[in-house]
A and B are shown apart, each in its own frame.
Chain A
Amino acid sequence: MEPIMAVAIGILYAAAIFLMLRRSIVKLVIGLILLSNAANLLIFTSAGMTRGAPPLIPAGLAAPLGPVADPLPQALVLTAIVIAFGVLAFAVVLIRRAYEIVKADDLDKMKDTDT
């Protein structure tokens, strides 16, 4: 399972960076979305994937017997998804406002503040 995930994550990162290098601000935001999803999958995978062993402690014991899936990465991914959702909602509104004001979907037209 891990090799497939690794390839998928690599493709996601590559696609995200390709999109972020485009001039269109819409593609820029899509790139950011892909990038945060890729990072989430990477956290999930790098901690090791265990199938069919939920992290439940049998009654009467203080720790689970045998290897179980690590619940912490899932909690991390959940937190990261929520954060990414909030930030991306902001980013989408930002590009809409920027589009209304600058009247172009082109990063090359947004050079006024560069030095």
Chain B
Amino acid sequence: MRPEVALPVLLPLLSGAVSLLFWRSRPMQRFIAVAGNAALLGVALWLLVSVGRDDYVVIQMGGWQAPFGITLIADMLSAVMILLTGIIGLSLAVYSLASTGPGHERFGYYPLMHMLLAGVSGAFLTGDIFNLYVWFEVMLVASFALLILGGEKAQMEGAIKYVTLNLLASVIFLTAIGLLYGMVGTLNMADIAQRLAVAEHRGMVEVLAVMFMIAFGIKAAAFPLFFWLPASYHTPPVAVSALFAGLLTKVGVYSLFRVFTLIFDQTLGYTQDLLIWGAALTMVTGVLGAAAQFEFRRILSFHIVSQIGYMILGLALFTPLAIAGGIFAVMHNIVVKTNLFLISGITRRIQGTYELKKMGGLYRERPWLSVAFFLSAFSLAGIPPLSGFFAKFVIVRAGIEAGAYVVTGVALAVGLMTLYSMVKIWNEVFWKSLPKDNLVPVEETVVGDDSRMVPPSLWLMYLPVGVLALFALLIGIFAEPLMVIMNQVGDQLMNPQGYIEAVLGSDGGVDDALVEALNREETP
């Protein structure tokens, strides 16, 4: 029994359920949010240690043997993603204490957050393709409800686009699962990988690979399927934006990494070009979209798209180093991007707007906030010695080694454009003096429409921002030990045989001969 594999899913479900029991008690829900997410972070560390020791930690749910039951499996990739989920969950829980108004809290903000985290953790840990679909839906339904919490006009309009396109992606995913099951007759991902390698209809395998690419591409917001993201991510309360920005698109990226290294690694001749050019165009369109914006969260939303390109590029180059770089980029991006959204929430609290033109003077007013922004923003742009530099460095080096010079050049140029957008925010929000027409007093513009939220609780917003900014710095300083972990991720993903053996056992699981033998013995 290895409880640490199941606990990252069970804990948020439990916290969510208990939180629902205390529907009327705000203090209790707030306490459960922090305690539950702290426990999640603890379990995530436990899982990371276990995986570091044993390489693969597997649990067969209900005791059903591997290809028949649902398998939960953690390899290094899953363990790293779960750890990041724990970090972001706890940061967001603390931040929400101050940023989310009682209006939102009364309508189930915290239970929804727990359910969302349960869906995210489940998607990272499951070894069953249909179960992955189910966790996607758990995550999506929670995110739908979080997105429209508050019910403003912009939220409704954003939600319609978000809901439609994500449901479309789910249906494409479901269709692909149905066709895949028709071909191989199994849902266990390790078993699928084995059977698909010897499947007859090679053309059908490629069709399925592209269907999975489209489904996960929509969820990951890759070009040309990203339009729902900048249309919706800037509409909900800022803590929700930050949670979505940090985790949701990365579940799509994770699924791409998992499916294309484990199941469809043999169709790469066909899909690799699609992935590479998709990645390049994702980077370029995202960063150009951001250049045209003058609203804090819209700029950041477009940069999510742009950064997704780097991660997919890491997958598309398909060398152990490139995949390590891609996962490094995921790790760096989850921390930094969440932090930038959290900072946008604080500046909005101070100056009452997200419009860059109306803001200013924060460098003089809040020097420490400026430092936190500086660390996160310049890390995103890839300035050494911050975390983003090493992510980019590894991917660019892998790109040059693979001989993909054009895409590597695009990646470097996009880094420059990212710097342009970050400098734009820095100049407008922190450097220039406050424009005369911003006379909005702080108290009236508090998010969450309730005057009971008072400024002294701001330190609860500063705390996660400071910690995450410190992470951005530490990831850069301790890049080498982290690269050891990332290289292990790369090795594991490039050699799926280990994963398959961990799930099915070294003999390749139960075969039909065994069933026949059983029948013969018991027939009188």
Contact = CB atoms under 8 A, between A and B. Distances in A.
A1 interface: no
A76 B130 contact: yes
For A40, A65, A83, A102, the residue with the greatest tally of chain B CB atoms inside 10 Å of its CB is A83
A63 B518 contact: yes
A86 interface: yes
Interface string A27-60: 0100010011011101111111000000000001
Interface in A86-115: 86-87, 90-91, 94-95, 97-98, 101-102, 107, 110-115
Contacts of B235: 113
Interface residues of A, number: 45
Interface in A1-47: 20, 25, 28, 32, 35-36, 38-40, 42-47
Size bracket of the B interface: 35 or more
A36 B171 CA distance: 6
A110 B160 CA distance: 9
A35 B170 CA distance: 10
Main SS of the interface on chain A?
helix
A40 B177 CA distance: 11
Given A60-B523, A60-B524, A115-B230, A83 B137 contact: yes
B157 A46 contact: no
Interface stretch (B101-109, B141-149, B257-265, B341-349): B141-149
Contacts of B182: 45-48
Nearest to A17: B168
B14 interface: no
Query: Chain B binding site: helix, strand, loop or mixed by DSSP?
Result: helix
A94 B144 CA distance: 9
B157 A90 contact: no
Contacts of A28: 160, 164
A86 B167 CA distance: 12
A98 B154 CA distance: 10
A109 B306 CA distance: 28
B187 interface: yes
Nearest to A80: B174
The interface centre, meaning the residue of A61, A63, A65 with most chain B CB atoms within 10 A of its CB, is A63
A107 B160 contact: yes
B365 interface: no
B111 to A, nearest CB: 15
B171 to A, nearest CB: 5
B154 A35 contact: no
18 contacts: A20-B164, A32-B167, A36-B167, A42-B178, A43-B177, A46-B178, A46-B179, A47-B182, A61-B523, A62-B519, A70-B185, A72-B187, A76-B177, A86-B141, A94-B160, A95-B160, A113-B154, A115-B289
Given A35-B168, A94-B160, 10 more contacts: A32-B168, A36-B174, A38-B171, A60-B524, A61-B522, A62-B515, A90-B145, A98-B156, A113-B158, A115-B289
Interface of A: 20, 25, 28, 32, 35-36, 38-40, 42-48, 60-63, 65, 70, 72-73, 76, 79-80, 83, 86-87, 90-91, 94-95, 97-98, 101-102, 107, 110-115
